[in-house]
A and B are shown apart, each in its own frame.
Chain A
Amino acid sequence: MSIRISQIDKTYGRTRALEPIDLDIHDGELIGLLGPSGSGKTTLLRIVAGLEQADGGSIHFGDRDVTRVHVRDRRIGFVFQHYALFRHMSVFDNVAFGLTAMPRATRPSSGEIRSRVMQLLEMVRLQDFAQRFPAQLSGGQQQRVSLARALALKPDVLLLDEPFGALDAKVRQELRRWLRHLHEELHFTSLFVTHDQEEALELSDRVVVMSNGRVEQIATPDTLYRQPANQFVFEFLGDVNRLEGDVEDEVLTCGDARVAVPGVENGRQELLLRPHEIRLEDQPDTRAHLPVSVTAVVPVGAEVRLELEADWLGEPWLATIGHAEFERLDVKRGRRLFAKPSRLHRFDTPRPQTLAPLATS
């Protein structure tokens, strides 16, 4: 079932929680709402669920206008960050709750409920835990029960509020992959909230980046990462290094550092680059003379993270290089090297601009 959100806004007292927002979600799409806390993403989700009322605008599920429909009649499934399981009920009764709460006339027979619940528990791989109580399950298991409970009524849309936020990193990984598979299998239309960019990029068909109650960008994970619409999106989607200096004749100077910046006009400029967009060498060259010293070395998985400091830098830079590079340069703490940016990004222009200072070499 598609979701159409048009001109939804919300104010709490004097705080503007949501500027008027438009968002179209296609049938079967998995959409991530990504933003820092206070960006309005949870408010938007709760308005779609009907747990909050918007001040204005409308929400349609398919052709059905649900703007004034009570949450219990919206046919949504909702998964809460802290599971919100009924702790006095067994896992089975939790999952069966929605079915047993139906009015007598439409309620399935207890046999049908039983087989439906067992089928759901099998789907979340908890069929052996039916008679347990929530307190006897791990966090990941509880969140799976909560998901089965939300899916029991075959909702039109599934809404998840930071579903993996309370779990530890490894379980979160697992559940994420598992939810992705489940979605590919069942194709429910789904909207989830997260502040974790990795989670949003891994799970979503499209990501909605929000800040201060506004939508900053709506795009596929790939586009989002490669063509961020503005500085906020760029900075929110990963680690960022800053390079600030005075540009004259397409050369940026900052203390004893300088780098060629083709096409950049004269004056004070701020350029940004990602950790993997830094290359390191023993020697400077004519295009880049950026002396740095290594202050920390952290090998993580396929790459090595380095912290770089220099007099001309306000905050230290973060660089990631491959293990081969790492060995070739014999990197250790205190080693002096020269940084060469392979890409530089500008956002203070009307349209974001990416430079490749070394491309012509």
Chain B
Amino acid sequence: MIAQALSRSRERRVLPGFGLSLGISLTFVSLILLLPLTSLVGQLSQLSWSQYWFLITDPRLLASYAVTLFGAGVAALFNAAFGLLMAWVLVRYEFPGKRLVDALMDLPFALPTAVAGITLATLYSSNGWIGRLLEPLGISVSYTWIGIALAMAFTSIPFVVRTVQPVLEDLPAEVDEAAMTLGASDGHAFRRVILPYLWPALVTGTGLAFVRSLGEFGAVIFIAGGKPYETEITSLMVFVKLQEYDYAGASAVASIVLATSLALLLAINLWQGRFIKRLHGGRG
């Protein structure tokens, strides 16, 4: 049956180069993604289940999960709002310097995260430009969760902007106009018409930003300070364990980060697939 189905699909294929291109792609996926993952699993296999459980439920590590999740959550929510606004401004209005702002949106992707981290840490330290202003107000950013969330938000903002922007560009002006001719107020039109259009892209972008934030290291460690139980993020724990030559321990922690990220990415993909199917005529 399967062989038959395969041979039939082989006959129908018109585009050339399928075997070669898929072969090369899979080779690179294996070399770049799967091989390192395999060594991770190899390291993990030295541990028994109880050792593994003991390692990943270490109280200091549990605290780091909480700090990371909380920071990434705040950053993702902030980016959802700010990224949507940014995409809206970039698509809907014309203003001088628009191209420049548009290009700036990609900066966090291009900038080495460590550079971003050091810059943020300098700016927000108690005698930095911004930190100095915030200090009298009783707000300290460096070495607190605010700093962590800030650094995470900085590195992951392009995810939201760049996923929402093309969808917003595709939204025909007619749809807005239709809502207006039907008497809808601006708020009603935005909530009921525009937001639902952008929703899949917005959720995807926010999800990606969240996943990115979970694994962020370079940008966060300088501003977070890494106080155990308070501002220590999970990826820093991996680093700490590696410095202690505890490869098995590092792998155990890494496996948690990896599993969470993969599960989230898969969930986002599945959800998005279902949502989009409905818009394109599948039975929803």
Contacts and interface: CB of A to CB of B under 8 A. Distances in A.
Interface of A: 49, 51, 71-73, 76-78, 80, 82, 84-89, 97-98, 101-102, 133, 135-136, 149-150, 152-153
Contacts of A71: 177, 180-181
B58 interface: no
A84 B172 contact: yes
A88 B182 contact: no
Interface of B: 172, 174-175, 177-185, 188-189, 192-193, 196-197, 199, 278-281, 284
B279 A87 contact: yes
Contacts of A98: 182-184
Given A72-B185, A97-B192, A153-B183, A84 B280 contact: no
A82 B181 contact: no
A97 B181 contact: no
Nearest to B195: A88
Q: Which of A51, A76, A82 has the most CB of B within 10 A?
A: A51
B284 A133 contact: yes
B278 A133 contact: yes
Nearest to A146: B178
Q: Which of B179, B180, B181, B189 has the most CB of A within 10 A?
A: B181
21 contacts: A49-B181, A71-B181, A73-B183, A84-B172, A84-B174, A86-B175, A86-B178, A86-B179, A86-B192, A86-B193, A88-B199, A101-B179, A101-B183, A101-B185, A101-B189, A101-B192, A135-B279, A135-B280, A149-B178, A150-B181, A153-B182
Given A73-B183, A84-B175, 5 more contacts: A72-B183, A84-B178, A88-B197, A133-B279, A153-B182
Contact of B281 (A80, A82, A135, A152): A135
A72 B279 contact: no
A47 to B, nearest CB: 13
B177 A84 contact: yes
Q: Which of B183, B193, B280 has the most CB of A within 10 A?
A: B183
Contacts of B280: 135
B183 A78 contact: no
A77 B182 CA distance: 7
A102 B183 contact: yes
Contacts, number: 75
Contacts of B279: 87-88, 133, 135
A78 B184 contact: no
Contacts of B199: 88
A11 B185 CA distance: 28
Contacts of B189: 101
Contacts of A135: 279-281
Contacts of A85: 178
A88 B185 contact: no
Contacts of B184: 72, 97-98, 101
Nearest to A77: B181
Q: Which of A51, A72, A135, A150 has the most CB of B within 10 A?
A: A72
A309 B177 CA distance: 50
A247 B174 CA distance: 55
Q: Which of B182, B185, B278 has the most CB of A within 10 A?
A: B182
Contacts of B196: 86, 88-89
Q: Which 9 residue pairs of A and B lie closest in terms of their CB atoms, listed nearest first? A: A98-B182, A135-B281, A84-B174, A101-B184, A78-B181, A84-B178, A88-B196, A72-B183, A80-B174
A312 to B, nearest CB: 51
A80 B188 CA distance: 20
Contacts of A82: 172, 174
A101 B188 contact: yes
A97 B281 contact: no
Nearest to A152: B182
Contacts of A87: 197, 279
Contacts of B177: 51, 71, 78, 80, 84
Contacts of A86: 175, 178-179, 192-193, 196
A59 to B, nearest CB: 15
Nearest to B279: A87
Nearest to A88: B196
A109 B179 CA distance: 20
B185 to A, nearest CB: 7
B50 to A, nearest CB: 50
Contacts of A51: 177, 180-181
Contacts of B188: 101
A105 to B, nearest CB: 13
A101 B182 contact: yes
A84 B175 CA distance: 5
B183 A133 contact: no
Q: Which of B174, B178, B280 has the most CB of A within 10 A?
A: B178
Contacts of A88: 196-197, 199, 278-279
